[in-house]
Amino acid sequence: MSPGTIRKWSWVHKWSSLVCTAFLLLLCITGLPLIFHEEIEHLLGDKPEPPVMAADTPRASLDRIIAAGLARRPGQVVQFVVWDKDEPDVVIVNIARTLVEPFDKSQVMIFDARTAELLMEPGGHVGFMDIMLSLHVDLFAGLPGKLFLGLMGLLFVVAIISGVVLYAPFMRKLPFGTVRKDKATRTRWLDLHNLLGVVTVGWVLVVGATGVINTWADLLIQLWRFDQLADMVTPYAGQPPVGKPGSLDKAMVTAHAAAPGMRPSFVAFPGTLFSSGHHYMVAMRGEAPLTKRLIQPVLVDAQTAGLTDLRKMPWYITSLLVSQPLHFGDYGGLPLKIVWALLDIISIVVLGSGLYLWIARRGVSMDVRLAALAQDDQAVRAGR
């Protein structure tokens, strides 16, 4: 690689890294507890444990559960009914003042799916995990914050690629993995920075790319609404929205018949983000570690409980659904979470060492570093 090419790649690596480093450090630090969010929620008592009952205990009526929730919030409406993917005996009901109220403004009620008894009604206080999630997702800035972090993620990908390109010319005279302990502190940190960066390059590319995709979630959902969902509800065009939805239990019978062998993930009520003004959108999922993250939308008429349409999600929503668990390592149980956490800590070291190296070498020009590199190459050739 010519000196001019190295100089250009070095400029790209330096500035793409500098611009995004502070935000990537924030994302790595806040992402660490989020990897273990379920375990932390159990430890803090934020996730209820339903009482032990026989495995064949029948499920309570969903209409009864909804009625119990609305009785505690008179005058409000149900937005979503959600099934906990890891705790089948729990049903979560989201109730809000309006159907379009943001999710974080709604009231969550957690019910026992067998008895319809309320297990927990989390208060309105903002806990530690809420703060970590908001910082990690949108910096408390909503969609603009998500898109900004997405831009930082793209710069991070550029920094990774440019770092890999630069690794060969600057380290080719040394055996792979060498850390020159007899050299100056900055040189030792440079070797460690390069080594950790290269051995984790695959993981950071995956996490960085999936993180960028996750920041586009709101936009991708809106695209699905205007694309596939709009086509599915074309027969209802011009009709007034449903005033009071019919039985959810009957709608679920229709959904199970339309998607046999699948389980419900959540139900979006008529007029909410994932549905139309006339339908229950029943999101069905598979049972395998991967397919239980993917959903099959089943549109059920909210008045007649008749099936309206059933389609696979488009590729861009499937990419989003796959990227979410992959980003946090949330599909292989605790062992994979531990691996993800260790790699996250290594990334923090790489980012921090990169910042230190930039500060330490500010007085050393690129021409000086290239001259030193050329001298080293000549010495190596002479010694052959």
* Domain endpoint, select from 328, 350, 368: 328
- Specify if 47 maps to a domain: no
- Angle, helices 217-224/142-171, rounded to nearest 10 degrees: 120
Are residues 148 and 289 both part of a single domain? no
Residue 339 is inside which H or E element, if any? Answer: helix 333-360
User: pTM score, two decimals?
Assistant: 0.83
* Domain endpoint, select from 282, 312, 328: 328
Count up the domains in the chain and report the number.
2
pLDDT at 380: 41
Which positions ≥6 away from 374 have C-beta within 8 Å?
A: 3
Kindly tell me if the per-residue pLDDT of 163 is higher than 80.
yes
- Specify if 51 maps to a domain: no
Which positions ≥6 away from 109 have C-beta within 8 Å?
A: 69, 72, 92, 93, 94, 95, 118, 120, 121
Residues 268 and 225: their CA atoms lie apart, in Å, by 13
Mean per-residue pLDDT over the chain, rounded: 86
Per the structure, the complete domain to which residue 178 belongs is given by 3-38+134-215+332-382
Are residues 222 and 336 both part of a single domain? no
Kindly tell me if the per-residue pLDDT of 206 is higher than 50.
yes
Residue 322: is it exposed, middle or buried by C-beta count within 10 angstroms (0-12/13-18/19+)? Answer: middle
Residues 320 and 360: their CA atoms lie apart, in Å, by 40
Tens of pLDDT, residue by residue over 107-151, are: 899 999 999 999 988 765 567 888 898 999 999 898 999 999 999
Percent of the chain whose predicted confidence (pLDDT) is above 70? 89
Give me the helices (H) in 85-184, please: 128-137, 142-171
Higher pLDDT, 2 or 26: 26
Are the C-beta atoms of 203 and 128 separated by less than 8 Å?
Answer: no
Are the C-beta atoms of 198 and 162 separated by less than 8 Å?
Answer: no
Are residues 208 and 344 both part of a single domain? yes
pLDDT at 124: 56
- Specify if 373 maps to a domain: yes
Which among 41, 25, 159, 127 is positioned nearest to 90, based on CA atoms? 41
Residues 152 and 211: their CA atoms lie apart, in Å, by 10
pLDDT band at 80 (very low <50, low <70, confident <90, very high): very high
289: left (phi over 0), alpha (psi -120 to 50) or beta: alpha
Pairing of strands 77-83, 90-96: antiparallel
- Residue 210: both structure tokens together: 């999936």
Tens of pLDDT, residue by residue over 19-65, are: 999 999 999 999 999 999 888 877 877 778 888 888 889 999 999 99
pLDDT at 170: 65
Are residues 194 and 317 both part of a single domain? no
